[in-house]
Structure 1
Amino acid sequence: MRLTRRQAGAALVGALAAPAAAAAAQRSAAQRAASVFVRPPADPFRAPRVRRILLPDFPGAHAIWGATGRDDQGRIWAGVSADGGERSARLCRYDPANGRIAVMGDVLGNLRRLGLLRPGESQIKIHSRIVPADDGYLYFTSTDEDGEVDDGSAPPRWGSHMWRTRPDSDRWEHLLAVPEGLTCGAGYGRWIYALGLWDHVLYRYDTVSGAVGRVVVGSVGGHQSRNFVVDARGHAFVPRVRRVAGGLAAELVEFDPALVERAATPLANYAIGPEPGAAHGITGLVTLADGAIVIATSTGTLHRIGPAAAGEAAVVRPLGWFMPDGPAYVSGLDTWDGRRLIAGMAPDGVVGWHWVVRDLTGGTVRVRPLDTGIPGRVLLYGSQTADARGRFYVGGRYHDGPRLRPVLLQVDSFG
């Protein structure tokens, strides 16, 4: 019997899905969520100890814009953006077990090796999270800012690339080139997603079949959420933003892996004021042990997503402000146990930072100073990146005289 093209395609995907399912079965739920759950410290509300991880320097090394992640071996990954030199972002890997850090490739070097580099091209940012998938690869995106217009009228001239790499290789595999600026990525198991500017364009990559999907979620000119999230069913949750009298309004839109819209839930206090660029959307995220996800917006509001059963839309419910006194820019979230406690960062309004721990069950919130040990203004970003001992990792940028440099910090509440 001769198979139709559709039947042949379905048979191929079925054949590929079996080993993928076997690989998924060997990973824990925490690994599939790019997380780790440990017993909380004896006093989780005290001020943590902060240690700076020294990064390899290179010309133009500029910042880590929340581009962090962990692999299944417990090593910490960071995308270091560039603003000079060859204008090529780099990927770094830190091993907490031995303290070693290594450069695991750069964007232009890999484009050049693959014969894909265009004359004059730059790719200054790895802005997305580093996402481990069931197939053993780490997924991320690179992008540029050349030609990008802040009001949303033009994307970056060189567009973006979607990549994957093995945890022990600096030779990346190129998956996709798109015209939008892919600034954030997320995934779970088989499904990898990336979100592009402008207009919140969502791409989906199937790690089993290699199929790519695309849908325009919608946003106002000049606004791009810094993150979005994907749950254990492979459903993506992306803000849709529109103008209303006096400012912006947003709803969190749920898409299944076929990119079918399943639900849309209003997000209260998504933005303060009318300027689209002043709102950074989802700035913090953390997956809990039961599969629920807590997100924070740049205004400091928290929402809990799910968990939801197969075939059902997730319930999204507000949890109020992260800070006890109301609005604040929440630039990252993490958790120890994935059940009761979440922690995160917020600027103190001067040049320093607050460390905030919240009990999700009892509502207790404690605010402590986060001493980075770096004089002057430091920018910090990063969520859901912890090692096997429950120490969190955040990236950012600081001033070193006239130069801006990237920083990677270990935040330890156990020491």
Structure 2
Amino acid sequence: MADAWHDHGGVVDRLKAAGLLREGEGQIKIHSKIVPGGDGWLYFASTDEDGEREDGSALPRWGGHLWRIHPKTRTWEHLLTTPEGLVAVSGVGRYIYALGYWDHVLYQYDTVEKQVKRVVVGSAKGHVSRNFIADVRGHAFVPRLTIRKNGLVSASLVEYDQDLNELADTPLDHYLDKERSTGMNHGIVGLAYLPDGRMVFTSHAGYLYSIQASGNGPALVTGLGWFHPNGKSYIPSLFSLGGDNWLAGVARRRPRDFEWIVSDLASGDTAVSPIDTGGLQRVLLYGSITRDNAGRVYVGGWAAEGANNQRPLMLQIAPAD
């Protein structure tokens, strides 16, 4: 184990090297997770935010890009330019998916045929889910928001098969935190894959859902309740700890206080403990699902550096003895 960091380069430099950089173009962030494909490459997306409108009426000026990088050679390959910003990437095996905003536009990249498909799932009032989920069958699960006749917004989870046919549309009663505006809700924030094939995710308010696949037909989507024993909580990171039912997460119930939650999904037993951030100021922790071969998990974010600046932060959380 090297325990070393390596600089793999930046998006704008890679666009320029590939002859794809448009004059004035920016790509402010890589917001997506970095997803391993069945071909051994690592897939991720970059995005711009310049000129976008939070109500969903204007796309970011430079849209987004889908990329892959080879972990051994550190070679980058550009796969796709999109008019939408790309906020999330998911996939297991052959099919890699990216989610664009606004209106939850789903892109599929077939790593075997090198083909791209696209479908508009639908969203409303500037809402963008920070994550979505894909499974080993090549099915993708993406939130859809709909404005009803009474003006209220309803949410559901739409399942697409590997041909982007819509298989199911399941209501999600606890998807939106109604104390926040629709656009300020982050949608699916935490997610994890369990050893028995189930997938679990948390909504912005901290409600836990499970997805259980069934052959090649629609999966069963079930609400499991609040992940934090005290109810609502922002839980952007989830981790499978081994076994079919052990799940851990990082929760935030107050602006800068973070807690470590371990839960047995079978019994409902849950333990909560504070996370020590070492005296750092104004800490913000993002979403993660990363776990190494020693069972340690990793959570990224940032902390204050001086009065007005921030610096990157990476926490390693070791399992209890």
Partner of 1:223: 127
Q: 1:383 aligns with which of 288, 295, 304?
A: 288
- What code does the residue aligned with 1:180 have? E
Q: 2:195 aligns with which of 282, 289, 301?
A: 289
Partner of 1:9: none
Partner of 1:298: 204
2:155 is aligned with 1:254 = no
Deviations along 1:107-152, one digit per CA (max 9) or x if unpaired, are 0111111111111111111111101111111111100111111110
- What code does the residue aligned with 1:111 have? L
Partner of 1:34: none
RMSD: 1.4
Q: 2:42 aligns with which of 126, 133, 138?
A: 138
Cα distance, 1:338 vs structure 2: 4.3
Deviations along 1:215-263, one digit per CA (max 9) or x if unpaired, are 0000003110000001110100000012355753210000011110000
Distance 1:405 1:134 in 2: 34
Q: 2:236 aligns with which of 328, 331, 343?
A: 331
Deviations along 1:172-228, one digit per CA (max 9) or x if unpaired, are 101100100000000010000000000000000000001100000000031100000
2:98 is aligned with 1:194 = yes
2:5 is aligned with 1:98 = no
Q: Does structure 1 retain, via aligned residues, the 8 Å contact 2:97–2:108?
A: yes
Q: In the TM superposition, what are the counterparts of 1:114-125 in structure 2 within 5 Å? A: 114-125=18-29
Cα distance change of structure 1 residues 336 and 188 upon mapping to structure 2, 3 Å threshold: same
- What code does the residue aligned with 2:244 have? R
- What code does the residue aligned with 2:289 have? Q
Q: In the TM superposition, what are the counterparts of 1:144-159 in structure 2 within 5 Å? A: 144-159=48-63
Q: Does structure 1 retain, via aligned residues, the 8 Å contact 2:55–2:125?
A: yes
Q: Does structure 2 retain, via aligned residues, the 8 Å contact 1:153–1:221?
A: no
The TM-score with structure 2 as length reference comes to: 0.96
Q: 2:226 aligns with which of 301, 318, 321?
A: 321
Distance 2:195 2:156 in 1: 25
Q: Structure 1 vs Structure 2: percent identity of aligned residues? A: 51
Higher CA-based Rg: 1
- What code does the residue aligned with 1:354 have? E
Partner of 1:22: none
Distance 1:414 1:365 in 2: 15
The TM-score with structure 1 as length reference comes to: 0.74
Distance 1:338 1:246 in 2: 44
- What code does the residue aligned with 1:254 have? E
The structure 1 segments of at least 4 consecutive aligned residues displaced by more than 6 Å after TM superposition are none
Residue segments in structure 2 that go unaligned for 5+ positions in a row: none
Cα distance, 1:350 vs structure 2: 4.7
Distance 1:229 1:374 in 2: 35
Q: Does structure 2 retain, via aligned residues, the 8 Å contact 1:352–1:377?
A: no
Total equivalences in the alignment: 318
Q: 1:307 aligns with which of 210, 213, 232?
A: 213
Q: Does structure 1 retain, via aligned residues, the 8 Å contact 2:95–2:162?
A: yes
Distance 2:205 2:36 in 1: 29
Deviations along 1:334-389, one digit per CA (max 9) or x if unpaired, are 01104121010111415220111111110011111011214222111223211000
Q: 1:279 aligns with which of 185, 201, 209?
A: 185
Cα distance, 1:290 vs structure 2: 1.3
Residue segments in structure 1 that go unaligned for 5+ positions in a row: 1-96
Deviations along 1:15-50, one digit per CA (max 9) or x if unpaired, are xxxxxxxxxxxxxxxxxxxxxxxxxxxxxxxxxxxx
Cα distance change of structure 1 residues 260 and 103 upon mapping to structure 2, 3 Å threshold: same
2:311 is aligned with 1:405 = yes
Residue aligned with 2:189, SS: strand
Distance 1:129 1:353 in 2: 21
Partner of 2:260: 355
Cα distance, 1:169 vs structure 2: 3.2
Distance 1:374 1:162 in 2: 37
- What code does the residue aligned with 1:358 have? S
Cα distance change of structure 1 residues 258 and 363 upon mapping to structure 2, 3 Å threshold: same
Distance 1:407 1:169 in 2: 26
Residue aligned with 1:410, SS: strand
Residue aligned with 1:277, SS: helix
Distance 1:269 1:146 in 2: 32
Distance 2:97 2:256 in 1: 35
Q: Does structure 2 retain, via aligned residues, the 8 Å contact 1:286–1:383?
A: no
Distance 1:313 1:374 in 2: 47
